[in-house]
Amino acid sequence: MNEDWFSTIEENVLTQLDYMLAQRTDAPFPSLVVTSANQNQVTAFPTLYIHELTPVEAGNDLNNQSINAVIETIEIQIWTNETEEECRRLMSAAIIEMKRMRFNCTAFPSIQTDNKIAFGVARFRRMIGSADTL
């Protein structure tokens, strides 16, 4: 078993989300940039930024010598220079795909516009075991 399986969760979620959004039959987002790179300034629109918040260990056994599960929280931010409606459509698609990976939406999207840039943020959480697949 991979001892550090928990260190690749963010990358795995990013890869799955990027792939699933591109495969959607209604994929109206051909120029969507999906990234986990911490950027102080968004340079391409639309952008979906995925950020792993601090995971918490769960599922301890009596030995407590390995990490059996983590409670994972993922924040998704969407930036677009079009409309709030486009931001909502992108966020809706992201929510559907996160639900397919069995995440719970713990903070539904808050969407606002500032200086003609629409911005949305939502958070997702689920327990992921060492043998789980996304």
Residue 14 lies in a domain: yes
Identify the band that residue 71 occupies on the pLDDT scale cut at 50, 70 and 90: very high
In the predicted model, what is the mean pLDDT of residues 29-47? 82
φ, ψ for residue 92 (rounded to 5)? -60, -45
Instruction: Show the domain range for 68.
Output: 5-129
CATH number at residue 66: 3.30.2000.30
- pLDDT for position 18: 92
Average pLDDT, the chain: 90
Q: What percent of the chain has pLDDT over 90?
A: 64
Residue 134 lies in a domain: no
Identify the band that residue 87 occupies on the pLDDT scale cut at 50, 70 and 90: very high
Total structural domains within the chain: 1
Span of 15-19, 24-28, 130-134 with lowest mean pLDDT:
24-28
Residue 89 lies in a domain: yes
pTM exceeds 0.75 for this model = yes
- pLDDT for position 26: 73
Residue 85 lies in a domain: yes
- pLDDT for position 1: 56
Evaluate if residue 59 carries a pLDDT over 90: no
- Residue tagged 């340079």 (tokens): 43
DSSP string for residues in 11-61: HHHHHHHHHHHHH-TT---TT-EEE-S--SS--SSSEEEEEEEEEEEE---
Residue 77 lies in a domain: yes
Residue 117 lies in a domain: yes
